[in-house]
Structure 1
């Protein structure tokens, strides 16, 4: 019998405790496109998955790529490869490219070419302005040995252009397990000439979050006649599986006889599956409804949620390699981290990966983490659940500190004892989960404002570095500004100064260069000590 997509009201009551020539602007990080003057027209167009795929295919033609490469003044050994295309309602497009040199991947070579509705190039944003000419480089004399840990990958030769002069390098991915229990995918970049380590970043986007009582929720399932599964065909095939405390594999797809899932307690393994599946569905709906993006990659394909990872694993993480979210069961396997904002946080790492691909280290890593917290809050506000009242707190229900306090605070991040309220010269040396506080704080100030505030019954008191008094523009405008900046302006190497320029450009395109919204963006960044023009 034909499988039917169903939506069943079920009881989900889970508690938890885890990167110059004719027609193109010189490639500088943060260079803004021009010509997007209509506020509504500068918003992303709502494209179906088929329309998005067609747009990417057209941009990926040799004629289109060669024309952009010539306009950018790229050398004969450089080639562009389309990663994504954003189209706005006014017809403007923003084509995101990755780059190769003599066939080698260029890390930090990503760029975005901006065009108006007539196809005229209006600007370009580059992760790096380093000129790629490696003809005088010495041979790769220092190839590193392959790592022995399970899951490691053999070293591959690359061009390192993220910092300083472009050079030949090796990228080694070290597998194994991190101290937290999460899988390890440590990318280590070493100079091919000297063997010196140049950079490293973690491939697993690991982050703590909350889970809570969700009450009765609707989830998309499939099946009929006594055999149903957590496969949401209406949302690209989102599916949720049970790892049964293992630390590898795809897990087993949740199935049920009557399409009524979970009993609201940790005693039923399906309860954690319900929360994760519900969170994935709500996040899918948010990106489609608010940003016109059908699926995490815009291709209409769903993601996998894996629950019951490991033994007492107090965390959750996103893995690009499987395009999946994975959730631990918390301390004593009694507090699954499978709530709405955790799902939104982890899935948003996928959105970042398929767009700006912010390097998961230094200031770009902090922006990567903050992006996930920002959209987690946005998903909460969009869902507007009476059981999970929207707020600007992260992890307020899990009691991970044992005293009822949240995991993170967006209004005053330092209240967690480690996160940064304001930018300083050492921000890039701080763990990405704590340097993210700068952007989280910016987003709160932009959305709500400074000083004493109350939203949905939650009281806040947000400071500013310069003592300024700020009024917010609302989360609906703030989320559009951040999404536009992320998908059209930010690159793999974006830092906080670049993020300021990117959001100012986005706000100007959306609301006009002299708008109150642009002034609010500038003031909010100044409020967290990220200053500039």
Structure 2
């Protein structure tokens, strides 16, 4: 089998180093003001942020804020920026500047190309009216307990095409399924009061699954040292676990992997949770009736996901800063879902039907972790086609984690969450997404962005399977697949490992917050050309796989 990685000179040219500058929306204006008031901010290539803004022809009222930098071994630098206008965050104003080693701008990837120009920054709508409108939107989405604790943020909304002054509100509560927390982001026109956009900030793996339905907890006091224990998981057999030893026993904290920890929510949906502890460093029994078993699966999944990103994609955690999120198990009562909360930096897992099938399978953990990676890089909006791509990205890397782990009890496959329902039927199928019978689509079509993001993700999932394995019927690792194509073409796969490298390169270098499927085609073509050559078999396969899911030039 050929190597999934570029070799020779191309490998040396494309070996990646990365520095991450994470700035949340609330910090954008302050950060921009600091950059403007202080010394000129430099980034790789020696060019100041102000000079870059000038070179791009931005107005005097616009500022760029560095979010992420990737430097190729040949000196090419890809700098991802957020943008402000008169000190206000520009939502949809993100862009990536691609510079040669000498600082020359080679290309720019923009979320939107419309110039930012606002006639007046004085809103006609009051903040109170904007809050009321946002709560009304949340109630229409059947959010229980809809409420806001903060005043709306004044922003420039550019993602819709024409930039307008707007308010951004976040309405909290509980989603329609009765268990999943809700953080509904609502953008309201500050001139007319019209709703411009809404999207969910809680990223979950399932849509509308029936349910009956914090923050980081402190580690134990006292001296602590790394230890190695063993755990009996429900889905992955007996596994090794990195833990932390203190005078009072062992805690499920992995100091080797960024302080990754697992906490028990004890069937609540709020609160800090309690770090799991144990006297003999032997965790769980493999049965869901043992409280520690779900924690074993979560800890093992988090470790395998961390190692996948580090060893395969050379990424040091979600934000590339070496810090791990908190895993929260026993979330809610019989909650059939798992969710990522970017603000809280947590992954939460329900115990599934009858509290007997925790949603802590390997690919589910990889899925949730990957939502954080998407947020830290492209920031794909969780709505419309970009939302489908966001979900597909988590499915793709969740699948890749399962193959990477090479666990005999949970073998690699192209089925998402096939163990969590207890009947062997997966949540999603990547070879033919429509097999789920719940609305996932196999091919792109106009209006696909109006679907639930878990269903529109089918296009990205299908592309990935075709690029990895090709079309038609085949048995892989004991599972039968039969992947069709929209145009009746035959697609030859390049192997999963190469497909993963191409998708990650595109996500971190060419995707933006508003990337749709046609933009994704261009981004992955560029990524394949970077990694393997513009006329390579890999680049041609990317083009063929997109055509096979009806995404064409």
Please state which band the TM-score falls in when normalised by the shorter chain. 0.7 to 0.9
2:546 to 500, 519, 525: 525
Match of 1:414 in 2: 434
Distance 1:392 1:442 in 2: 12
CA 212–118 in structure 1, closer or farther in 2 if over 3 Å, else same? farther
Residue of structure 1 aligned with 2:269, choices 247, 252, 264 = 247
Aligned-partner Cα distance in 2 for 1:62–1:503: 28
Which stretch has the larger CA shift, 450-459 or 210-219? 210-219
Pick the aligned partner of 2:77 from 93, 114, 128.
Answer: 93
Do the aligned partners of 2:295 and 2:329 also contact (CA within 8 Å) in 1? yes
Aligned match of 1:83 in 67, 86, 101?
67
What is the distance in 2 between the residues matched to 1:63 and 1:516? 36
Structure 2 equivalent of residue 66 of structure 1: 50
Shift of 1:238: 0.7
Larger mean Cα displacement after TM superposition, 368-377 or 216-225: 216-225
| Inter-partner Cα distance in structure 1 for 2:124 and 2:46 | 31
Q: Does 1:293 align with 2:291?
A: no
The aligned residue for residue 428 of structure 1 is 449
Question: Which residue of 2 is the match for residue 480 of structure 1?
Answer: 501
Shift of 1:84: 1.1
Q: Which structure 1 segments of 5+ residues have no match?
A: 1-36
TM-score (norm 2): 0.85
Is 1:343 the counterpart of 2:340? The answer is no
SS in structure 1 opposite 2:66? strand
Deviation of 1:269 after TM superposition, in Å, equals: 1.2
Measure the CA separation in 2 of the matches of 1:196 and 1:257: 58
Query: Which is bigger in relative contact order (C-alpha 8 A, separation at least 6)?
Result: 1
TM-score computed with the length of structure 1 as normaliser? 0.88
Partner in structure 2 of residue 135 of structure 1: 119
2:282 is paired with a residue of what secondary structure? Answer: coil
Whether the 8 Å CA contact 2:525–2:543 is kept in 1: the answer is yes
- Residue 182 of structure 2 is matched in structure 1 by 184
Match of 1:389 in 2: 411
- Of 366-375 and 220-229, more deviation after overlay is shown by 220-229
How far apart in 2 are the matches of 1:457 and 1:420? Answer: 25
Match of 1:215 in 2: 237
What is the aligned-residue RMSD (CA, Å)? 2.3
Please tell me whether the aligned partners of residues 208 and 342 of structure 1 are also in contact (alpha carbons under 8 angstroms): no
Distance 1:153 1:234, change over 3 A: same
Query: SS where residue 208 of structure 1 aligns?
Result: coil
SS at match of 2:155: strand
Tell me how many residue pairs correspond in the alignment.
490
Deviations 1:327-350 (A, max 9, x none): 011111111111111110000000
User: Using the alignment, how far apart are the partners of 1:377 and 1:114 within structure 2?
Assistant: 30
Deviations 1:280-336 (A, max 9, x none): 111110111111111110001111100011111110000011111000111111111
Q: 2:196 matched to which residue of 1?
A: 198
**Residue 153 (structure 1) aligned to one of 132, 147, 150:** 150
1:136 is displaced (CA, Å) by: 4.8
Q: Which residue of the other structure, out of 167, 172, 175, is the alignment partner of 2:169?
A: 172
Q: Once structures 1 and 2 are overlaid, which stretch shifts more, 38-47 or 239-248? A: 38-47
1:366 Cα deviation (Å)?
0.2
The question of whether the paired residues in 1 share the 8 Å contact of 2:94 and 2:512 is answered with: yes
Residue 185 of structure 1 aligns to a residue whose secondary structure is strand
SS of aligned partner of 1:154: coil
- Between the aligned partners of 2:65 and 2:430, the Cα distance in structure 1 is 37
Deviations 1:137-158 (A, max 9, x none): 6633354135483554321111
Give the 5 Å matches for 1:350-389: 350-389=372-411
Give the distance between the partners of 2:106 and 2:46, measured in 1 at CA: 20
1:21 matched to which residue of 2? none
* Contact 2:152-2:167 at 8 Å conserved across structures: yes
1:279 is aligned to 301
Name the CA distance, whole Å, in 1 between partners of 2:147 and 2:401: 36
Q: Secondary structure at the match of 2:81?
A: strand
SS at match of 1:406: coil
* Cα distance in structure 1, aligned partners of 2:487 and 2:13: 32
Question: What CA distance in whole angstroms lies between the structure 2 residues aligned with 1:399 and 1:301?
Answer: 31
Partner residue of 2:421?
A: 399
**Aligned in 2, Cα 1:150/1:306: closer, same or farther, shift over 3 Å?**
farther
In structure 2, distance between residues paired with 1:265 and 1:463: 39
CA 1:46–1:111 in 2, change beyond 3 Å: closer, same or farther? closer
Q: Does residue 468 of structure 2 align to residue 441 of structure 1?
A: no
**Aligned-pair CA distance for 1:60:** 9.3
Q: Structure 2: any 5+ residue segments left out of the alignment?
A: 1-7, 23-40, 136-144, 210-232
Q: Answer yes or no: is the 8 Å Cα contact 1:153–1:175 preserved in 2.
A: no
Shift of 1:384: 1.0
CA–CA distance in structure 1, aligned partners of residues 395 and 419 of structure 2:
16
Partner of 1:267: 289
Question: Cα deviation per residue 1:434-461 (whole Å; 9 max; x = unaligned)?
Answer: 0000000000000000001221111111
Q: CA deviation at 1:124?
A: 1.0
